[in-house]
Amino acid sequence: MGLHEADIRARQRQSWLLAGVVTVLCMLLEAAGVRDALAYDRAALAAGQMWRLLTGHFVHLGWTHSVLNLAGLALVVWLVGTVFTWLRWLYIGFVSIAAIDAGLWLFNTDLDWYVGLSGMLHGLLAAGLLPRLLQRDRESMVLAVFVLAKLVWEQVGGPLPGSESTSGGTVIVDAHLYGVIGGLLAGALLRHREPQSASI
């Protein structure tokens, strides 16, 4: 059973509202200049500053980096914002963040510092595409191919050309991979809980 038009509109409003909250949060943190106190910092985490596992994803290298990530968030909402309810988007976001944090801590032991939304955005997009891929939606298949090609490029050749100069610093491409893994895991778990529902 598919979603009614009213349900789709409601999800669209919820997703844009949630994105708006994230946008305001990121902009306030940027304006406050608290990046160093909130960034993912391996030494600080080892000293017990565990809040950085969450807050590091909402601070940025600067205004340009922040605006680029928030534009990416708007794009994700536009592409797949109606796939899940806002509570499920929160769940997917937190699972994606957890996957990124775990991946960076366990496998990128030489990485001392990380900030930005981009890893989580990759997770949100992957989770949003998953149900549509299972329904064999052609547009989603094309988009998924682009996402996969981007991940492969980044793992083999490093960041996309121009991405580091635009963002103002080093792009941690492994965070994108870990985010996708987390997003797919969260999306699959939600799908498993309601295998017969098209209104996830």
Which tens digits make up the pLDDT trace of 71-83?
Answer: 999 999 999 999 9
What pLDDT sits at residue 194?
56
Using the predicted structure, report yes or no on whether residue 138 has a pLDDT greater than 80: yes
* 160-182 average pLDDT score: 95
Predicted TM-score (pTM) of this structure: 0.94
Q: What is the pLDDT of residue 186?
A: 98
The answer to whether residues 92 and 124 touch, using CB atoms and an 8 Å cutoff, is yes
Question: By the 8 A CB rule, do 38 and 59 touch?
Answer: yes
Q: What is the pLDDT of residue 53?
A: 98
Kindly report, residue by residue over 33-55, the tens digit of the pLDDT.
Answer: 999 999 999 999 999 999 999 99
CB distance 26 to 70 below 8 Å: yes
Q: d(Cα 105, Cα 183) in Å, to the nearest integer?
A: 18
Q: What is the sign of the dihedral through the CA atoms of 167, 141, 85 and 3?
A: positive
| Residues 6+ away with beta carbon under 8 Å from 145 | none
pLDDT at position 200 over 50: no
Computed over every residue of the chain, the mean pLDDT equals 94
Could you report the per-residue pLDDT of 12-31, keeping only the tens digit for each?
999 999 999 999 999 999 99
Query: By CB neighbour count within 10 A (0-12 exposed, 13-18 middle, 19+ buried), where does 24 fall?
Result: exposed
Q: Structure tokens of 179?
A: 């985010």
Residue 191 pLDDT: 84
Q: 5-193 sits in which CATH class?
A: mainly alpha
| pLDDT > 80? residue 172 | yes
